[in-house]
């Protein structure tokens, strides 16, 4: 029997197998951080791996490319080996490189080949806008208008997508599909296995944006037969602001020339031949464009080490318990204050955060920050609260809901303007 008491929250923390990892992160005293799905916190291990890389630069200079604990020439490949299990892939299918949008541009440029009536790219209206910007610009390179060649699946409720609607939109004029693994607003997990099977039955390639799912939920991209995927590493994977992103290319597509060629996509045995004709790497490394952002990738060595130790299954299990407990407390303690829980309730459809809708959302988020709770506002009326398994506690969840209740009861949120700041 669940309870709404602080003692019950503390009891849950006492039985938490991952509670030792909280001490690995820099937590600001008196602050409850609930925005790990936008930017994960810095860990001591990530800090140390960055300092180790800086030391290599200091000690070796240019020889750091081949010397030191993690030689820079093989930096991306070493991180790819650590990251591959989180997406259910072999290390040859993964490369840590670029940024989210750059990597999407690379995948579209490499694998979008309009032919005959198959010229359209299928996406959804709830996807993060940057993905849609990239799709539009890639279509424009072919002289296509997005209004005619980008199909957007509509949401029935403004928060979630129905897989049946997506499958229905997989018509014979679609050449490529780009969808989120987890919707950034509502936290809905799309059934990637079912969608991939449906796409392949219709002869369509499918790609997933894993920015809000990697490090939060399990993936089996190889088993599901997903063609391509891309992601950032600064949310649940705690790689730091602007951390280097990632690409997955299914083994069946390896060996094709990258659409956007650059010298770090070369076969490493031939790269420094500096030949006029590029010889692409035989693995996902071919989809690198420029020199790796070494200092932006370095923190991932420390962060991914913790994921290897803890295991994504245990992380997902705690994440589900945290969000379930948060929803329970919201329904018990905030029932008089017009909040709507707009994320899916089912565990198989719920990602790593709770999405609340309230007409005063912007000013409520400002009031939470004044009380040292860090939420995330999403225009026009959404509040995202992300209790992260590696560093948040059940007591954090309990305190967050109690502070939210006090803000609503006392009406202190009314002191703030109900619109977002420059950065929401």
User: Residue 407: which H helix or E strand, with range?
Assistant: helix 394-410
The side-by-side arrangement of strands in the sheet containing 205-209 is 94-96, 246-249, 228-231, 205-209, 174-180, 120-124, 150-153
**Residue 209 assigned to a binding site:** yes
**Residue 319 assigned to a binding site:** no
**Residue 100 assigned to a binding site:** yes
For residue 419, what are its two tokens?
Answer: 């619109």
**Residue 291 assigned to a binding site:** yes
Q: What is the DSSP string of 95-106?
A: EE-S-HHHHHHH
Query: Cα separation of 165 and 184, whole Å?
Result: 19
CA distance readout (Å), 146 to 122, 123, 154, 259, 382: 11, 11, 16, 20, 28
Burial label, 16 (beta-carbon count in 10 A; 0-12, 13-18, 19+): middle
**Residue 224 assigned to a binding site:** no
**Residue 128 assigned to a binding site:** yes
**Residue 263 assigned to a binding site:** yes
Query: Cα separation of 288 and 9, whole Å?
Result: 46
Q: What is the DSSP letter of 155?
A: P
CA distance readout (Å), 66 to 47, 60, 74, 286, 391: 22, 9, 8, 20, 35
Q: Report the binding-site residues.
A: 100-101, 128-131, 209, 212, 234, 263, 291
Q: Report the binding-site residues for pyridoxal 5'-phosphate.
A: 100-101, 128-131, 209, 212, 234, 263, 291
């Amino acid at each position: 029997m669940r309870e709404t008491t602080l003692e019950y929250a503390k009891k849950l923390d006492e039985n938490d197998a991952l509670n030792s990892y909280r001490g690995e992160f820099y937590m600001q005293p008196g602050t409850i951080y609930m925005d790990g799905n936008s930017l994960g916190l810095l860990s001591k291990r990530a800090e140390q791996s960055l300092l180790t890389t800086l030391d290599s630069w200091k000690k070796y200079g240019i020889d750091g490319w081949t010397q030191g604990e993690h030689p820079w020439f093989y930096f991306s490949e070493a991180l790819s080996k650590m990251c591959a299990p989180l997406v259910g892939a072999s290390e040859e299918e993964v490369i840590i490189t670029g940024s989210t949008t750059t990597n999407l541009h690379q995948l579209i440029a490499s694998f979008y080949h309009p032919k005959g009536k198959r010229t359209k790219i299928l996406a959804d209206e709830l996807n993060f806008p940057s993905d849609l910007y990239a799709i539009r610009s890639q279509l424009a390179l072919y002289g296509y208008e997005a209004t005619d060649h980008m199909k957007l699946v509509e949401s029935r409720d403004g928060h979630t997508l129905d897989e049946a609607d997506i499958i229905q939109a997989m018509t014979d004029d679609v050449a490529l599909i780009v969808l989120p693994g987890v919707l950034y607003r509502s936290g809905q997990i799309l059934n990637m296995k079912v969608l991939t099977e449906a796409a392949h039955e219709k002869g369509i390639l499918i790609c997933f944006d894993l920015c809000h799912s990697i490090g939060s939920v399990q993936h089996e991209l190889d088993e599901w037969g997903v063609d391509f995927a891309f992601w950032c590493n600064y949310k649940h994977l705690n790689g730091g602001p602007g951390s280097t992103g990632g690409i997955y290319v299914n083994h069946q597509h390896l060996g094709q020339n990258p659409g956007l060629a650059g010298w770090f996509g070369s076969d490493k045995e031939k790269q420094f031949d500096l030949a006029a004709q590029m010889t692409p790497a035989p693995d996902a490394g071919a989809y690198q464009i420029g020199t790796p952002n070494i200092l932006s990738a370095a923190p991932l060595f420390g962060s991914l080490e913790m994921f290897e130790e803890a295991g994504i299954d245990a992380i997902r299990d705690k994440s589900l318990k945290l969000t379930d407990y948060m929803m329970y407390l919201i329904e018990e303690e905030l029932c008089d204050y017009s909040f709507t829980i707009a994320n899916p309730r089912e565990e198989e459809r719920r990602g790593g955060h709770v999405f609340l809708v309230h007409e005063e959302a912007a000013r409520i988020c400002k009031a939470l920050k004044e009380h040292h709770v860090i939420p995330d506002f999403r225009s026009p009326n959404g509040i995202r609260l992300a209790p992260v398994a590696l560093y948040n506690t059940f007591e954090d969840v309990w305190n967050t809901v109690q502070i939210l209740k006090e803000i609503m009861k006392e009406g202190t949120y009314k002191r703030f303007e109900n619109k977002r700041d420059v950065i929401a």
